[in-house]
Structure 1
């Protein structure tokens, strides 16, 4: 071996193998954070907040495992809080590099993070005034200034555009069909290839086209929110029945809904039901400034002919004008809805009743047996939504227990997460099977059952990683 060959041989054997570390969303459905390390440095896929159980929420406050000083970039799959809500905390800790995402994700992240900071500041102020926090004083995890610094780092790229992140690191975002701007992530790092599903949408989303199939990679990191179940093909009209019952007894319907995407789908269904005469024409209020802003992003996507949208999306979103939704931009209007004088429907964030204006509505409306709360999506363990779903007789709101006398209804038809069949089908649609699948972003049983099914049905090694576990890639 000549000297040149020896130097090349030594360099090849001393090169650091790419590694993947699961810093979040392992054994739980929230807090998505995945660290990829290589000779080019480190990058983070998603930087989400933990939600739900207090033990999980405390992780948001613990010293971060993310090596902020070594990060060359953060890549976002989409704009939901459990995927992007930790970003301002990273910036507060010194992160100053690019945050790569799609243009629509950038627009929605701006709305989501500003709302998150505002709510945290308001919650801290309220806790200090009422004295129900164990911390003296109660502080927000981050503030609006941290968010403004974060927004300046957003770097919007189009789907299928190859992004160079280093000498040997390439990134491509592909449509995920979950919410507007959502993406799966394809990374090529030091010759290894891996893909992240983010939150994967369903083939029949009312507005969005189906997810793009995964590329040929050695490893796939896949969500498992509904990894242990299959969405029913033909659900009864749960929402219509609940509204008719509630209005019939003189009550109002409260629908906690995620401000991004879920609200649009709920409003479209209300329009369909009213147009068909399936429910009475009562006033519909949208009490979420964030949802009102997100709705405008969806309208803009329709106006510009976004290829993410189905052809019928134009007609569907135009139908919302006919519904004559009454937006509630200010706090005073929101407070008046706490005790509506006549039956109405209130759609308000957040979807799992973890924060936002819906909390105040719950405090006032849960004690009245005439009212109804309709849950429209996945409710993580430890959230108020999950407590209501599980039949709680009281829930704690702002330091006080509130009796639950209102009717609680679960309507699973609004989920835009792929179910077990659809997750397995997505993996199977890859042009070549991966060597390994890492199952994340699900409760433990859901993740384990999906992993077992992937192994059994596709013959692919499937692993449920532990929090903090580090694996080699390629």
Structure 2
């Protein structure tokens, strides 16, 4: 049996992860991500899939972010009908994210049609909410550390990766005619000292390894994010203002809620109302209660009060509840999506509260070029919201150290956990510089044979096993 892999995404970029493993009579995909970011990458989502999807037997997912699951509605729409394996929490997170993605795709197509800026006379969404729902019956949830078969000669086991709830490292064992081979897919690795999620599991052996390199060229700042968060909140409250935290709905919001609860319990900040104003973030937070053995907070969640349930925390599901905060005055904390202030309910909070110098906006994640969050960070005196220029009088803070991605030191720590040098290591899911830096470091310090694959490149892994 010959084994080949084709890199359909997650190579040369941090998006669109898709790795096609070909055993000859059985082909399966590891991850099925949407391309995001620059236009040239997004346009790949519209390209014809490089093989008949009917020939694809199965899909293995590592975790629920769109750059790993967001292409599923498109591939199902094209005719894929096989099983989609994932952890139990990933199955539920994927449903939340795919429904939201389908809704956004529909809205963007409608807006393009209305404004006439599309190159197409009748612009269509990449997929719809209905297309997203068609994925759900194909999801086959699996437990951590329990081996399952996807064919007569391929077995898979999931291990904790950290990063977000349900995120997994996938071990794929291929049984050939004369020997077996072990493929390890890191997925996205989390932090070793995350207070909410388990650290990435150490894996002792791999014949072939795929390791992500998102932060392969950088180290996380050695700061105490909880203390920084408390300082920014108290600074704002001393001015008699309220705090707005634009936050990513999955992962980052729950980490912020944990730190806020700890700060209040330690009496480092006053006990004030916390309004979680994001339906997606609320749904994701509830999953931490459903899958309480998948993270470190199990013991805390057995108490009457915990980071996701206490008297100060208020969940705002309805739009009308959200609108009542427009006139809110006094000390309070509003957490709302999106994390870079590109859309969502956080915009009307910023619209109403940015003009007051009493208030504070705390940015808790990376702010990409061109986003409102980046413009706030860069100190622009006005930002455009709802077609109006809104004066930025509120004080802007940035809290670092809350990333969900392993940094260079942590990627190396995970790599050092292998007892034997993998025969081949692919550096994936990273921009050119970060992939090259990590590749060189693994080669120089650990003596590994590394490759940085290109988009659509094919590699023979084994011959005649």
Residue 84 of structure 2 is aligned to residue 94 of structure 1: no
- Which of the numbers 369, 391, 405 marks the counterpart of 1:417? 405
Aligned to 2:289: 299
- Name the counterpart of 1:213: 202
- Matched residue of 1:165: which SS? strand
Q: 1:244 to 1:36 in 2, by over 3 A?
A: same
Of stretches 39-48 and 247-256 in structure 1, the one that deviates more from structure 2 is 247-256
Most deviating of 47-56 and 338-347: 338-347
Paired residues, what number? Answer: 456
- 8 Å Cα contact 1:49-1:60 kept in structure 2: yes
Q: In 1, distance between residues paired with 2:442 and 2:352?
A: 46
Seen in structure 2, the aligned counterparts of structure 1 residues 469 and 212 have a Cα distance that, compared at 3 Å, is same
Shift of 1:215: 4.2
Contact 2:222 2:401 in 1 (8 A): no
Secondary structure of the corresponding residue to residue 134 of structure 2: helix
Question: Taking structure 1 as reference, are residues 243 and 340 closer, same or farther at Cα in structure 2, changes over 3 Å only?
Answer: same
Pick from 187, 192, 205 the counterpart of residue 198 of structure 1: 187
**Deviations 1:127-183, CA, capped at 9 Å, x for gaps:** 555666665545432112111110010011122222222243222211112222111
Q: How does 1:421-436 map to 2 (within 5 A)?
A: 421-436=409-424
Cα distance in 2 for partners of 1:321, 1:31 equals 35
Structure-2 residue corresponding to 1:243? 233
Counterpart residue number, 1:3: none
Between the aligned partners of 1:361 and 1:54, the Cα distance in structure 2 is 29
Please list, as runs of the form range in 1=range in 2, the aligned pairs for 1:104-143 lying within 5 A after superposition: 104-126=89-111, 128=113, 136-143=121-128
TM-score by length of 2: 0.87
Q: What does residue 5 of structure 1 align with?
A: none
**Contact 1:427–1:433, Cα closer than 8 Å, also in 2:** no
- Alignment pair present for 1:442 and 2:427: no
Question: CA separation of 1:271/1:255 partners in 2, compared to 1, >3 Å: closer, same or farther?
Answer: same
The counterpart of 1:225, out of the listed 214, 217, 221, is 214
Q: Deviations over 1:4-54 (max 9, x none)?
A: xxxxxxxxxxx4x31222221223222221211122322111112222333
CA–CA distance in structure 2, aligned partners of residues 447 and 473 of structure 1: 20
Match of 1:186 among 159, 165, 171: 171
Mapped partners of 2:358, 2:45: distance in 1 = 38
Question: Which residue does 2:306 correspond to in 1?
Answer: 318
Cα deviation, residue 310, structure 1? 5.3
Deviations 1:357-405 (A, max 9, x none): 3345445555655543323234456655455555666666677776655
Report Cα offsets for 1:184-232 as digits up to 9, x if no partner. Answer: 1111234432111111122222123222112411221111222222223
DSSP-derived class of the 1:412 partner: coil
Compared CA separation, residues 166 and 296, structure 1 to 2 (3 A): same
Alignment of 1:16-415 (within 5 A): 17-65=2-50, 67-126=52-111, 128=113, 136-189=121-174, 190=176, 191-235=180-224, 237-302=227-292, 306=293, 308-309=295-296, 312-314=299-301, 318-338=306-326, 340-362=328-350, 365-366=353-354, 370-379=358-367, 384-386=372-374, 388-389=376-377, 406-415=394-403
Q: Are the equivalent residues in 2 in contact too, given 1:132–1:398 (CA < 8 A)? A: no
Secondary structure of the corresponding residue to residue 260 of structure 2: helix
SS of residue paired to 1:415: coil
Q: In the TM superposition, what is the alpha-carbon distance from 1:247 to its structure 2 partner?
A: 3.3
Distance 1:341 1:57, change over 3 A: farther
Query: Which ranges of structure 1 fall in alignment gaps of 5 or more residues?
Result: 1-14
The answer (yes or no) to whether the contact 1:264–1:295 under 8 Å persists in 2 is: yes
Larger displacement relative to structure 2 (211-220 or 239-248) = 239-248
* Preserved contact between residue 217 and residue 438 of structure 2 (Cα < 8 Å): yes
Change (3 A) 1:377 1:300: same
| Whole-Å separation in 2 of the counterparts to 1:465 and 1:398 | 42
Q: CA deviation at 1:57?
A: 2.7
How far apart in 2 are the matches of 1:38 and 1:92?
Answer: 25
Native 8 Å contact 2:165 2:294 kept in 1: no
Q: Unaligned regions of 5+ residues in structure 2, if any?
A: none
Deviations 1:91-142 (A, max 9, x none): 1111111100111111221222122223333444455556666655454321
Of 366-375 and 219-228, more deviation after overlay is shown by 366-375
